[in-house]
């Protein structure tokens, strides 16, 4: 019997890979530690970027690279943008995504020079994409779906072949695709579900994979700021539709920016962060705005806010992890038998700052590519699936309050030398928690990068400095190193 490929994660990246492999006849085991709402993909609101005629991949690539602030890889961005139309075709044909051909405009989002964001009719694109892919995956008898947490990897002497679960079951196969999402859920103010804790980074690091760009966390500029309630994301598409960001005196806080409210995310987040009381308002757009964003209008109404009338208090919240496991253009990590794809990967497409709506696309495009790569790879020579390292205690996975506080205060939108250095004095690596281990690595990179670039903004080094035009790479047993772009 053909041995299965194990896919860790049931978001857009994992499910795209799993379905593609199963359609090619490959048995697949999908392991997910959570079901919706504990999956980031389910929450995506804006949409999925793809340059459909008369837009071009070249323009999409230019926007992506400009926003990436010198750290995007042109080859990876070319793969992303050129593969986009084909990668979204099934979702369009399946009625998940719409464009003007079936009655809904392509949306304009921050950093895009054109309206190119395809979305579901009700605006809850991630939910629609997830339901579609999950339905296809669950209907395919070559896919076994397990809800459990992967707590260790296993393999032979020469390759990773499977995973070890919290329930103490070992799933042996011919290789592992990590599609386990990012780590922005570790922050106390985050748009992510609290399952986005960077598990995959730790698993890959244990077996020698490289991690890059951990200092770059994108903050969504506008979540509804209400004490004691979970943050509610106010989609960028609202600003695309004409909503303004204003201060206490109703002055537009981005009035001087040439792109206004559609400036790149990092710039909008900094402007909101620096404004003592910032608000998003769509009141000047009239009642039609409720119809344009029906689900959001309803979610706001449930909390007592009227999208068409009220000034909504906002603050930035951690949203997307640019950092991740270093991969090539096919998801290979350099560790035999281990691939990584989606938000868990550092594939080179986002650089220092992700362009809005490029991450669902990344999951879809690279999910399909990784499937091809795994199918084309020679399977391992041995059936052995011994533990590659000891699984940690269950408490290891629970984020600590010291890590969460440090992420908020030292690794937030604007970083200061004193908060970074004070935080570094804590014995992060000795504490035996995933959150502490990752916070320690993020701090190390944030302290080392003495410049401001994209999502990494230091008040003591406000300028971008070409000497830092490279990736800070962590690897077990090696000191942190700067790898210049192109090396």
13 forms part of the interface with ligand FAD (CB under 6 A): yes
39 forms part of the interface with ligand FAD (CB under 6 A): yes
Q: Angle of helix 12-23 relative to helix 359-376, nearest 10 degrees? A: 30
Residue closer to ligand FAD (CB basis): 217 or 447: 217
- Asked whether the CA dihedral 476, 479, 484, 486 is positive or negative, the reply is negative
Residue pair 203/388 in contact (Cβ under 8 Å)? The answer is no
Residue closer to ligand FAD (CB basis): 349 or 423: 349
d(CA 355, CA 264): 8
Q: What is the chain's length?
A: 487
- Taking CB under 6 A as the binding criterion, the range among 167-175, 328-336, 359-367, 451-459 that sits at the site for ligand FAD is 359-367
343 forms part of the interface with ligand FAD (CB under 6 A): yes
- Taking CB under 6 A as the binding criterion, the range among 62-70, 79-87, 298-306, 342-350 that sits at the site for ligand FAD is 342-350
Smallest distance from ligand FAD to CB 146, Å: 9
26 forms part of the interface with ligand FAD (CB under 6 A): no
Applying CB under 6 A, among 64, 218, 222, 359 the residue interacting with ligand FAD is 359
Which among 172, 136, 135, 126 is positioned nearest to 21, based on CA atoms? 136
Residue pair 319/277 in contact (Cβ under 8 Å)? The answer is no
Task: Tell me, rounded to whole angstroms, the distance of Cα 30 from its chain centroid.
Answer: 19
**CA distances to 199, 233, 278, 324, 369 from 221, in Å:** 26, 9, 10, 22, 32
Long-range contacts of 86-90 (CB under 8 A, 24+ apart): 87/50, 87/361, 87/364, 87/365, 87/368, 88/48, 88/50, 88/118, 88/361, 88/364
d(CA 347, CA 349): 6
Applying CB under 6 A, among 357, 406, 439, 452 the residue interacting with ligand FAD is 357
Catalytic, out of 116, 142, 174, 265 = 265
d(CA 31, CA 252): 46
Smallest distance from ligand FAD to CB 129, Å: 8
Asked if 467 is an active-site residue, the reply is: no
**Residues binding ligand FAD: number (CB under 6 A):** 44
Smallest distance from ligand FAD to CB 203, Å: 7
d(CA 20, CA 232): 33
Q: Which token pair is 39?
A: 């999956």
Q: Which token pair is 41?
A: 């993909």
Residue with tokens 């707590």: 151
Residues 176-205 that bind ligand FAD (CB under 6 A): 179-181, 191-192, 195-196, 199-200
Applying CB under 6 A, among 26, 64, 149, 353 the residue interacting with ligand FAD is 149
Q: Which token pair is 63?
A: 């926007």
470 forms part of the interface with ligand FAD (CB under 6 A): no
174 forms part of the interface with ligand FAD (CB under 6 A): no
Smallest distance from ligand FAD to CB 479, Å: 27
Residue closer to ligand FAD (CB basis): 368 or 447: 368
Residues 110-129 that bind ligand FAD (CB under 6 A): 125-126
- Taking CB under 6 A as the binding criterion, the range among 134-142, 241-249, 352-360, 452-460 that sits at the site for ligand FAD is 352-360
The torsion of the CA quartet 234, 239, 240, 241, rounded to 10 degrees, works out to 90
**CA distances to 114, 231, 234, 470 from 317, in Å:** 26, 8, 11, 26
Smallest distance from ligand FAD to CB 469, Å: 25
Residue closer to ligand FAD (CB basis): 265 or 471: 265
- Taking CB under 6 A as the binding criterion, the range among 7-15, 72-80, 250-258, 286-294 that sits at the site for ligand FAD is 7-15
| Closest residue to ligand FAD: CB criterion | 11
Q: Which token pair is 357?
A: 């709506």
Residue pair 6/162 in contact (Cβ under 8 Å)? The answer is yes
Residue closer to ligand FAD (CB basis): 233 or 365: 233
Cα angle: 50, vertex 457, 126; to 5 degrees: 30
Residue closer to ligand FAD (CB basis): 314 or 420: 314
- Taking CB under 6 A as the binding criterion, the range among 91-99, 340-348, 370-378, 402-410 that sits at the site for ligand FAD is 340-348
Residues 400-459 that bind ligand FAD (CB under 6 A): none
Smallest distance from ligand FAD to CB 299, Å: 12
Residue with tokens 């928690």: 433
Q: Residues with catalytic annotation?
A: 265
* Site of interaction with ligand FAD (CB under 6 A): 8-14, 31-34, 38-41, 43-48, 125-126, 149-150, 179-181, 191-192, 195-196, 199-200, 233, 320, 342-344, 357-360, 363
């Amino acid at each position: 019997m053909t041995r299965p490929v194990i896919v860790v994660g049931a978001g857009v990246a994992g499910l795209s890979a799993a379905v593609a492999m199963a359609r090619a006849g490959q048995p697949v085991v999908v392991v997910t530690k959570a079901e919706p709402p504990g999956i980031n993909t389910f929450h995506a609101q804006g949409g999925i970027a793809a340059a459909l005629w008369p837009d071009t991949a070249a323009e999409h690539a230019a926007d992506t690279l400009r926003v990436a602030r010198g750290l995007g890889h042109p080859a990876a961005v070319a793969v992303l943008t050129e593969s986009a139309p084909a990668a979204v075709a099934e979702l369009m044909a399946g009625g998940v995504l719409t464009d003007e051909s079936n009655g809904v405009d392509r949306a304009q989002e921050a950093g895009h020079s054109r309206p190119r964001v395809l979305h579901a009719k009700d605006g809850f694109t991630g939910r629609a994409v997830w339901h579609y892919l999950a339905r296809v995956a669950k209907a395919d008898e070559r896919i076994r779906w397990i809800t459990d947490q992967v707590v260790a990897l296993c393999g032979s002497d020469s390759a990773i072949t499977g995973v070890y679960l919290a329930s103490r079951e070992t799933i042996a196969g011919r290789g592992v695709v990590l599609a386990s999402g990012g780590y922005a859920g570790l922050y106390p103010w985050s748009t992510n579900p609290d399952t986005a804790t960077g598990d995959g980074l730790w698993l890959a690091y244990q077996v020698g994979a490289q991690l890059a760009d951990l200092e770059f966390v994108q903050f969504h500029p506008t979540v509804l700021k209400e004490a004691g309630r979970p943050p509610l994301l106010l989609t960028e598409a609202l600003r695309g539709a004409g909503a303004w960001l204003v201060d206490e005196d109703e002055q537009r806080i981005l009035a001087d920016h040439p792109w206004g409210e559609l400036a790149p995310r990092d710039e909008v987040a900094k402007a909101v962060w620096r404004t003592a009381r910032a608000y998003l308002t769509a009141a000047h757009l009239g009642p039609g705005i409720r119809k344009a964003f029906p689900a959001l209008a309803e979610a706001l109404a449930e909390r007592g806010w009227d999208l068409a009338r009220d000034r909504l208090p906002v603050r930035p919240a951690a949203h997307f992890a640019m950092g991740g496991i270093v991969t090539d253009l096919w998801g290979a990590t350099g560790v035999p038998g281990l691939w990584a794809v989606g938000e868990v990967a550092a594939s080179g497409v986002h650089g220092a700052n992700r362009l809005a709506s490029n991450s669902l696309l990344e999951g879809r495009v690279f999910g399909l590519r990784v499937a091809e790569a795994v199918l084309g790879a020679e399977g391992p020579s041995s059936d052995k699936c011994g533990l590659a390292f000891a699984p940690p205690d269950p408490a290891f996975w629970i984020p600590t309050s010291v890590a969460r506080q440090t992420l908020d205060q030292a690794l937030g939108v604007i970083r200061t030398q004193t908060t970074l250095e004070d935080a570094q004095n804590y014995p992060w690596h000795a504490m035996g928690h995933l959150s502490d281990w990752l916070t320690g690595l993020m701090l190390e990179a944030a302290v080392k990068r003495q410049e401001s670039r994209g999502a990494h903004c230091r008040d003591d080094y406000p300028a971008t400095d070409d000497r830092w035009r490279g990736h800070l790479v962590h690897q077990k047993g090696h000191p942190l190193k700067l790898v210049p772009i192109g090396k």
